[in-house]
Structure 1
Amino acid sequence: MRLFTLVLLLSVAIALTAGAALVLAPGSHPSVGLALFVSPTEVERQLLWQLRLPRQVLSFFAGALLASAGGAIQARFRNSLAEPGLIGISGGAALSAALALQFGLPVTWVSLLAFAGGLGALGLTCLISRQSVDNDRLILAGIAVNAIFGSLLTLLITTLPDGSLRTITFWLMGSFANADWPQARLFLLAAPWLVWLLFREWRLLNLLQLGPETAFHQGFDPRRGGARVVLFAAMAVALVVSHCGMVGFIGLMAPHLARQLVGSHARRLQIAAPLIGGWLALLADWLAQSLLYPAELPVGVITSLAGAPFFLWLLRQSGRRSRHA
């Protein structure tokens, strides 16, 4: 699959979702969104281009990045329950990003520190799990690492002044409310590139699902190739966390939904999962804006309410398969 085809698919999905966002705008009748296509006023035009469209671009590509990273991590660790938030990457990235924000560092440094924190948390997870990551020890270690970083994050929040407490807490629960065109342009440029970097590892991901020995006998270096996949996934998650906060479970749900549609082949999965992840993020953002309109919920609350039962269902299914094996 060529880069052009992948970018084209993402572009078409963005166009469709932007149109849906106009019709399904929170607090408005569908005819209001439709009117923007027919005879928009200056206020409506500004509302569309300065508020709605950058938010849709940001939310879609954030979901696409999380889904692409989730699918790659599940294949890399041969664990269908693996997800950036469950194996510590999101927690480490969030703590590092929160520290950077606390010290007033620029956005570039926030992203870099989030990336470093995500990698450090993943390394700690693998160190705690110690043995083969084919079993649930990876998930248990990730939960422990998340608890550690969550405690440190809570400690940090308690030291914040009252003025910034609500803002950073809302951000840590995930939000696209502060989206603007500089952020949207960054994701518009960086997200397809990161999705492509993960997609082009599809041959390695297919073989890693069969075991590192299989990948080695097929001419791949499983250690170096696996580290490369983790590096790209951490970059994707760090970018999302540093700009949108912790939006959990999309990296878990989207790859599983994609498998139901296109199967487990990594070449198809790494195309379908980002598109589904983008749609899930858009739907979660719309629900976050609509459920308590005119107030707004954090997006992470919506994704967690959907993702936690989904994770428990997957855990139950995994237990049944283990008993029948």
Structure 2
Amino acid sequence: MATAGAAVQARFRNPLAEPGLVGINSGAALAAALAIHAGGGMLMVSLAAFVGGMLALWGVRLLGRAHQGGSRLILAGLAISTLLGSLLTLLISTLPDGSLRTVTFWLMGSFANADWPTTTLLLGAMPLIWLALFRQWRFLNALQLGESAAFHLGFAVQREEWRIVLLAAMAAGLVVSGCGMVGFVGLMAPHIARQLVGGDARRLLQAAPLLGALLTVLADWAAHTLLAPAELPVGIITSLIGAPFFLWLLHRLPAGASHD
């Protein structure tokens, strides 16, 4: 998720962008919940989450087409996320009591239901997705100069941009299908990595996933210890940290920076 966040921020040239804020997480969660409700296995849930994330991102792209790198993108993402969240709540309200708690706990983000099939899928898919995104580091660096500059540097801008979006949605969809909505990791980890290693995409894409892993391990530790022996969903911990982090980031952002 941290890698997806770093790629999405670079793609849209917007420091506030991340898979959750541009609708990918909500779309993936709704589609995954539908697949779970239909009794699908891990493969079906993962595929549904990927498709749902892509459809949500497509909707955000349509709404924010005029200013893809600016605040309109964030507003479009929030609108799509709110709509999909309402549909998700409606779906949850129709679930039988036996599965309601399981699905709700899963959607909050939890590692409690981790098993070897899920772990094997993530261990196999995530390194491949990371490697595919890492190979785009030259284009992501060029993109920070603007789409026109990237085009004149020899990149097929539109094709490469959608490749990055596709890979980011795939990563987010797999994460959501495996452990639910662990929010704000895709926002916090790239920013912390940027403070440590700078804005070079080659270093950023190496540091962000490591910091994302560290954040989720610490959040999981807090989820186990704060109310022991009860266990909190990991997504609650990351949201409690991530929401103030987002507000702090929004406050310190120079006027007009989100439009660069």
Q: TM-score if structure 1 supplies the norm length?
A: 0.78
* C-alpha deviation, 1:181, in angstroms: 2.1
Gaps of 5+ in 1: 1-65
User: In terms of mean alpha carbon deviation, does 194-203 or 310-319 score higher?
Assistant: 310-319
RMSD (Å) for aligned C-alpha atoms: 1.4
Amino acid at match of 1:271: Q
The match for 1:269 among 201, 204, 210 is 204
* C-alpha deviation, 1:321, in angstroms: 6.5
The match for 1:123 among 54, 58, 78 is 58
* Alignment length (residue pairs): 259
Alignment map for 1:77-156 (pairs within 5 Å) = 77-156=12-91
Q: CA offsets, 1:143-178, max 9 Å, x none? A: 000000000000000101111111100000000011
Gaps of 5+ in 2: none
Amino acid at match of 1:200: R
Amino acid at match of 1:96: A
- Alignment correspondent of 1:204: 139
- Alignment correspondent of 1:235: 170
Alignment map for 1:1-325 (pairs within 5 Å) = 66-320=1-255, 322=257
* C-alpha deviation, 1:129, in angstroms: 1.3
* C-alpha deviation, 1:74, in angstroms: 0.2
Aligned partners of 2:82, 2:65: CA distance in 1, in Å? 18
Aligned partners of 1:166, 1:217: CA distance in 2, in Å? 53
Q: Secondary structure at the match of 2:45?
A: helix
Aligned partners of 2:254, 2:197: CA distance in 1, in Å? 24
Q: CA offsets, 1:34-79, max 9 Å, x none? A: xxxxxxxxxxxxxxxxxxxxxxxxxxxxxxxx00000000000000
Aligned partners of 1:88, 1:134: CA distance in 2, in Å? 15
Aligned partners of 1:134, 1:157: CA distance in 2, in Å? 34
Amino acid at match of 2:185: I
Amino acid at match of 1:187: L
Q: TM-score if structure 2 supplies the norm length?
A: 0.97
* C-alpha deviation, 1:265, in angstroms: 0.3
Aligned partners of 2:165, 2:51: CA distance in 1, in Å? 12
The 8 Å contact of residues 42 and 118 in structure 2, kept in 1 or not, is answered as no
Runs of 4+ residues over 4 Å off in structure 1:
319-323
Aligned partners of 1:197, 1:303: CA distance in 2, in Å? 27
Q: Secondary structure at the match of 1:131?
A: helix
Amino acid at match of 2:54: L
Aligned partners of 1:322, 1:277: CA distance in 2, in Å? 24
Amino acid at match of 1:274: P
